[in-house]
C-alpha cells in the first residue's frame, strides 16, 4: 500500500514538472509574440513617418539624405529586434532549465526516501 502511495507521489511530481515546463514554454512564446507585435507596430509607425518625410523631399540631395537616414534606422531596428529576441530566448531557456533542475532535485529526494523506506520492507520479507 505504501509503495503505491509513493509511486503516486512520484507520478504527481513528474506531472507537475511537465506542466511547469509547459507553462514556462507557453509564457516564453507569449512574450516572443508580444515582442513581435511591438516590433510590427513600431515598423508601421516608422513607415508612416518615412512616407510623410519622403513627400517633403524636393531635391536629389534631400532624397539621398533621406535614404541614408531611412536605411540606418531600418538597420538599427533589425539589430535591436534580433538582439531582443535572442536575449529573450536565452532568458526563457534558463528559466525552464532552472525549473527542471529544481523539480528533478525534489524528485530525487522523493525517490531516495522511497528507497530507504522500501529497504527495511525487503529485509523483513527475506527473513520471513
What is the block-wise mean pLDDT of the chain (128 residues), using blocks of 10 residues?
79 85 87 89 91 94 93 90 88 84 81 77 66
pLDDT for 128 equals 61
State the pLDDT at residue 119.
73
Q: Tell me, what's the pLDDT at 122?
A: 63
Q: Give the integer Cα–Cα distance in Å for 69 and 23.
A: 42
Residue 102 has a pLDDT of: 83
Count of the separate structural domains present in the chain: 1
Distance CA 94, CA 109 (A): 23
Q: How far apart are CA 85 and CA 95, in angstroms?
A: 15
The cell numbers describing 34, all together, are 508580444
Domain enclosing residue 89, as ranges: 2-127
Q: Rounded to two decimals, what is the model's pTM?
A: 0.63
Contact between 113 and 16 under an 8 Å Cβ cutoff? The reply is no
C-alpha cell of 16?
507537475
Q: Are 3 and 118 in contact (CB under 8 A)?
A: yes
Amino acid at each position: 500500500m505504501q509503495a503505491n502511495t509513493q509511486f503516486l507521489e512520484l507520478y504527481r511530481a513528474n506531472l507537475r514538472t511537465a506542466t511547469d515546463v509547459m507553462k514556462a514554454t507557453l509564457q516564453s512564446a507569449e512574450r516572443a509574440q508580444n515582442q513581435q507585435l511591438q516590433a510590427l507596430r513600431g515598423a508601421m509607425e516608422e513607415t508612416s513617418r518615412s512616407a510623410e518625410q519622403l513627400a517633403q523631399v524636393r531635391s536629389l540631395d534631400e532624397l539621398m539624405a533621406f535614404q541614408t537616414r531611412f536605411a540606418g534606422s531600418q538597420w538599427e531596428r533589425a539589430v535591436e529586434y534580433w538582439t531582443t529576441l535572442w536575449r529573450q530566448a536565452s532568458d526563457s531557456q534558463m528559466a525552464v532549465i532552472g525549473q527542471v533542475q529544481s523539480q528533478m532535485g525534489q524528485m530525487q529526494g522523493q525517490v531516495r526516501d522511497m528507497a530507504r523506506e522500501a529497504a527495511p520492507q525487503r529485509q523483513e520479507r527475506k527473513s520471513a
